[in-house]
Every structure is written in C-alpha cells, then in structure tokens.
Structure 1
Amino acid sequence: MGDPHRNCPSRDCHFSERRLASAMVTPEDVKALRKKLGCTAKDLARVLGIEADEVFAWESGERFPTKRFVDKMTELEQRGAEAFPKRRKGDATEMERLADPELWKILRKLLAHPALYRQVKKLADEMPDPVDD
C-alpha cells in the first residue's frame, strides 16, 4: 500500500494538510496530532466525546476515524493545545479527591444534616455537571 503521504511537501506537514493529501488518516497522523497538541489518548477521546479505546484503535490501525471525527481533529489542531485545559498545579485528580478523608467527612455531614444537604444541593444546581462537558 505504501505511504499515503509520500507526496506531502513536508514529512512534518499538519494533520489537515496530510488529510488533504490523502482520503485516509493514518494511525501515525493521529499519534502525531496528539503529540503536537500535547494530549493523551484519554484527553483526545474526552474532547471528541468518545471512549479512549476508540482513539487507541485508530492509533493501532484497527479502526479509522470517520469524517466527522477527522473534521473535529482538524478543528482541534487549529485551536492548538488550548483545546485541552490543563489541570492547575496542586489541583487534585478525581481519584485523589475520592481518597481524601475530608470528602468523606463532608458526605457524612450531608447525610446527617438535611438543612446542609438542601444548601449544598441548591449550590450544586448552579454548577455545570461535568458529565455534560
């Protein structure tokens, strides 16, 4: 089959340029895009609204992204690394927060004090749900 990008003017051409040079995005294209954006497969999957396993399948050549996802990746390339907000230094991960004894103390208080639960629920209703991101 050969390299579909052998005619690219530069071996370092952008994801969108490589996409125009051939009808198919290769596993190397997806890996190169992630490297350029400084994101993990999980980060890319989250922004694309898919499971990380799908990105891994693209990168292994097991499956290939549809036009919809290729277009989204082209947009991400244009936005650059800012498309992937980085965690601020010192911010705990979700797993670190789950292991924090203070979280469990707060949960115990929420269960024991209905008035506190109502106040927290009202405050939580004003916050965006991370599942909707």
Structure 2
Amino acid sequence: MAEKKTYRCLCAKDRKYIEKVYKSMTLKEIANGLGCSHGTISRELKRCPPGNYSAKLAQMDCDRKKVRGGPKAPVKSYWQGLVLRKQIETCIRMQPTVDLQTITRITGIEEDKAAYYYEDIKKEIITQ
C-alpha cells in the first residue's frame, strides 16, 4: 500500500534555509533537506523576483496572502514595493550614513516613494 503524502506549510526557519542555499543547491536537494517536495520549493521561489529570493520578503508575501485569502491579491504594485524596499535596504546596509537624496540618485526611485520606506528601514537596521 502506498504511503499517504502529508503536506505542511513552510515556516520562517525553512525560508531562511532556502535563502542560504538556493543558489548553491538544486530544488530537489533543498526539498530533501526540508522534507518536502521540489514543487513546494519551486512555488516558494516564485514568491520573490527571479534570482532574488529573500526569506523576509517571502514571509511577508505568505502573510499577505493568508490575510487576503489567497493569491488573488494585487501583485504588481506589491512586488514593486518590495523591490523598492530591497533596493533602499541594500543602499543603507552598504553605507549606513547614506541620506535620502543619495538613495534616490543611486536607485532612481522617486523621493516620495523612497521616503516612505527610508525611516522604517533605518530603524530596522539599527535595532538588529
């Protein structure tokens, strides 16, 4: 008799593991390490822009979909916001003393959009 497959949701710890190894391991190797199917890993990687998997962004996407009731939530503007946030975060991590005007010049992001994320990201990085 065939074993009945059990399914489980990935947790934040699983997503951090994926973030560490996704560029150096195959989907099947990652899936074996987590005890899930390679399809689960494939779908998980689609939570973020191609080639830029982030455990934090994936967890935010998961939480958003749980609240909104599934994948039918508007995605384009959500992803654009995540990409903007990631660009700003990268600038701040590379040079903690960078100001808002420099970030807008480097990234090409409009100042009002950058300002929306700038303070939150600064506080977040300082508290880590």
Task: State TM-score, norm by structure 2.
Answer: 0.30
Task: State TM-score, norm by structure 1.
Answer: 0.29
Indicate the structure (1 or 2) with the bigger Cα radius of gyration.
1
